[in-house]
Amino acid sequence: MTAESQTGAGGAERAAPTAANAGHYGHDHASDGKLKLAVGAVGVVFGDIGTSPLYAFRETFAGHHPIEPDRLHIYGVLSLVFWSMMLVVTFKYVMTIMKADNKGEGGSLALLALISRSSGEKRWTWPIILLGVFATALFYGDSMITPAMSVLSATEGLRYIDPGFAPYIVPIALAILIGLFAIQSYGTAKVGALFGPIMLLYFVTLAGLGIMHIADNPWIIAETINPVNALRFFYVDGFTAFIALGAVVLAVTGAEALYADMGHFGRGPIGMSWLAFVLPALMLNYMGQGAMVLAAEAGPRADLISDPFFQMMPEFLEVPVVILALLATIIASQAVISGAFSLTQQAIQLGFIPRLRVEHTSASAAGQIYIPVVNWFLMIMVIILVLFFGSSSNLAAAYGIAVTGAMFIDTCLLSVVLFTLWKWPAWKALPVLAVFFIVDIAYFGANLIKVPDGGWVPLAIGLVIFTLLTTWSRGRKLMQQEMAEGAMPIPVFVKSAANSATRVPGTAVFMTSSSDGVPHALLHNLKHNKVLHQRIILLTIKVADVPFVREENHCALEDLGQGFHRLILNYGFMQPVDVPDALKRVTSCGGEFKMLETSFFLSRQTLIAASKPGMPIWREKLFAWMLRNSESAMEYFRLPTNRVVELGSQVAI
C-alpha cells in the first residue's frame, strides 16, 4: 500500500515508520471532559443506530419475509435484538475492536494502515489490504442508503399526523435530503452544536415511549434478556428465524460508526454513552414496541405491527415526536455524509483515490471538511435510491448487506491484530474470533437472501468503487516504477549541471513523489530553459501511516551542495497539506521563503500505451481518465496560482 497523493506532480509519498515520522499528535480526550465528550458522541456517533427503532422491529415482522407477531416470535426477536447489541456493538466494537486504534484514530482505513505498518511486506498482507479497501467501498454504499432510508422512514410518520400527507411523503423526503446536501459547503460547526441536545432529547423520548408500554407487561424485560427465547425461535422456526436475522441486523446498523468516530471522542466517552444511555434507551423502545403489540392480542395486531414506532405514541405527542424523529434522521444522515468526507480524505492521503478538491469549513477544527465531488455524487445517488425504491420498507431490502459485509471484514482485520499485533495465544483469540465470525457470517448470510429484492444495489456500488480504488492504487504504483527506472542520481546531477548551467536569482521548488533521483520537471526545465535558480528545493510530501505527525518531526532538510536542498514534509493521513504554510517555518536553507521570489515546478504525466501493459487495457483507460480528472497539485497543495509552472512528460505503463 502506498500513500502518495499523486504520482509525479503530486509530490507525495507514503512515509515509512521511521523516527522522523513516528511521533504524532495524541488525542487528549481526558482534558476535554469525558462527560462532555460522551454527550457529543450521542449527537454524532449514535445517530444511525439511534434511528433504527423507526423501522427495524417493523421490518422483522412485516417486511419482505413476514412472520407471525405472536408471543414466541416477539420474545424471540427482542432477545435477538438485545444479544445482537451485546455481541456486535458492546463486546465486538466497544470492548475489543476499539482497542485497536491507530494513534487514536479508528475506522477500516486506520486499522488497515496500522496492520500494514506493523506487518511490513509479508506475503499475506496484500489480501488483507484488499479486504480493507473493499470495506471502504462498502461504506460508500452504506453512506448512500442510510440518508435515504432514515429520512424516508421518518417522513412516513407524517401520515399518522394527517393521512393527506401520504402522496407527498417522497417529495418531502427528497426536499429534506437535497437541502441537507446543499448546506454541506457551509460547514457543520454551528449545526453540530445542536446535535447533542437534540439527540439526547430523542433518546429520552425513545425510552419514555417504551416505558409507557412496558408498564403493561414488565415481564417482557426478563423475556428479552433471556437468550433461551432467541434459541427457541431458531429451534421452532429454523430457516424462518435465519431469514429474520436479515431484518434484526437493522437494529445494529451504525455500530461501525463507533469505531470510525473514535478519533473525535475517544474510546472511553463512546463506551460510556453507549452503555449508560444509548443502549438502555434503544432496548426500552424495542421492548415497548413488543409489549404494545402483545397487549393488543385481542385487537388489530396486524395494524400495529405495520408501523409500531409511530403507533406507540399518544395522540398529543404525535406531532413533536414525528418532528423529533425527522431531526434525528437528518442528524444521522449528516454524520454519515461527514464520515464519507473524512474517509475520502484518508483514502486520498493513503493513495487509493486521486486528488480531489478538499475545502476546510473550520479554521480551528481540521476534521471539518467538505469535498464537493463526493457531496454531489452522494446526493444524486440518494435521490435515485429514494425514487427507485419509493418507501423505507422497500429500501430495507437493500439496507444491511453493506453494513454486515463491513462488519465481517472488520472481524477479519481484527484476527490479524489479535495474532500479529497483540500476540494473543490461540486459546484466548480463537474463542473470541469464533463468536464474532459466527455472528457476522449469520447476519451476512441472512442479508444475502435479500440480494434479489434490492440487496444487489450496495454490492454493485461497492464493486464499482472497489474497482476504482484498486485501479488507482495499481496504476500509480506502475507509474512510480516506470519513472524510477530512468531517474538520474542526485549527486551526479548536482556535479554535472550546477557549474555548467546559468544560475538565475530566486528559489525554485521542484515537487517530486520520490525522495530519490532527479525530478522530471527539473530535467525538463534545464533541457528547455537552460537555467537553474540560485536556490533549488527538491520537495517531497510524505504521508505516514499515523493520523498526525508532531511539529518537531514535520520537516526533514538535507543540504545537497551547490544551492540544492532536499526537503521532506511529513504529514499524518488525517492532516491537510499546505505547502506555503509549511515553507514559512523553514529558515535553515538559505533564509526565509518569499512567495514572490519562489517558483513551483510540477510534472504532469500523460499516459501512453505500453508494448506490454501492466494492467488490462480497460483499467489503463480508467486510470488515465482518473488521472486527467484529478485535482491539480497546485490547488491540492495550496500553491500560489501565479507562481506555478507545469512541465509535461509521457509515461508508458
Query: Whole-angstrom Cα distance, residue 612 to residue 378?
Result: 37
- Residue 31 pLDDT > 50, yes or no? no
Query: Whole-angstrom Cα distance, residue 87 to residue 134?
Result: 24
Query: Residue 120: what pLDDT?
Result: 61
Burial grade of 245 (CB within 10 A; 0-12, 13-18, 19 or more): buried
Distances, alpha carbon 465 to alpha carbons 134, 459, 522, in Å: 8, 10, 36
**pLDDT mean over 560-589:** 85
Name the packing angle between helices 456-485 and 617-629 (round to 10°).
80
Query: Whole-angstrom Cα distance, residue 230 to residue 248?
Result: 12
Which of the pair, 260 or 455, is modelled with greater confidence? 455
pLDDT bucket at 91, cuts 50 / 70 / 90: very high
- Residue 86 pLDDT > 70, yes or no? yes
Burial grade of 218 (CB within 10 A; 0-12, 13-18, 19 or more): exposed
- Residue 209 pLDDT > 90, yes or no? yes
Query: Whole-angstrom Cα distance, residue 109 to residue 351?
Result: 11
The three three-digit cell numbers of residue 646, written as one number? 507545469
Query: Residue 28: what pLDDT?
Result: 46
User: For 339-371, what is each residue's pLDDT tens digit?
Assistant: 888 888 888 878 889 988 888 776 555 567 789
| Most confident region among 28-42, 195-209, 556-570 by mean pLDDT | 195-209
- Residue 4 pLDDT > 60, yes or no? no
Query: Residue 364: what pLDDT?
Result: 53
Query: Whole-angstrom Cα distance, residue 314 to residue 316?
Result: 6
Within 10 angstroms of residue 343's Cβ, the number of other Cβ atoms is 21
- Residue 24 pLDDT > 80, yes or no? no
User: For 307-337, what is each residue's pLDDT tens digit?
Assistant: 899 989 888 888 999 999 999 999 888 888 8
Query: Whole-angstrom Cα distance, residue 45 to residue 52?
Result: 14
pTM of the complete model: 0.82
Query: Whole-angstrom Cα distance, residue 523 to residue 534?
Result: 16
Query: Given the DSSP bridges, would you call strands 598-608 and 502-511 parallel, antiparallel or unpaired?
Result: parallel
Domain residue spans of the chain = 35-454, 482-652
Query: Residue 262: what pLDDT?
Result: 79
Q: To which H or E segment does residue 206 belong?
A: helix 189-214
Q: In the predicted model, what is the mean pLDDT of the chain?
A: 84
**CATH classification of 35-454, choosing from 3.40.190.150, 1.20.1740.10, 3.30.465.10, 1.10.3720.10?**
1.20.1740.10
Distances, alpha carbon 354 to alpha carbons 343, 448, 460, 522, 628, in Å: 13, 32, 21, 24, 10
Which of the pair, 193 or 28, is modelled with greater confidence? 193
pLDDT bucket at 238, cuts 50 / 70 / 90: confident
Query: Whole-angstrom Cα distance, residue 380 to residue 461?
Result: 13
pLDDT bucket at 195, cuts 50 / 70 / 90: confident
255 closest CA partner among 281, 277, 278: 278
**pLDDT mean over 404-430:** 90
- Residue 218 pLDDT > 90, yes or no? yes
Query: Given the DSSP bridges, would you call strands 598-608 and 555-561 parallel, antiparallel or unpaired?
Result: unpaired
Within 10 angstroms of residue 394's Cβ, the number of other Cβ atoms is 18
**Quick one: residue 216, left, alpha or beta (phi over 0 = left, psi -120 to 50 = alpha)?**
alpha
Query: Residue 23: what pLDDT?
Result: 42
45 closest CA partner among 257, 331, 276: 257
Q: Find the range with the poorest average confidence among 2-16, 162-176, 289-303, 412-426.
A: 2-16
- Residue 541 pLDDT > 60, yes or no? yes
- Angle subtended at Cα 226 by Cα 221 and Cα 229, rounded to the nearest 5 degrees: 105
Within 10 angstroms of residue 337's Cβ, the number of other Cβ atoms is 23
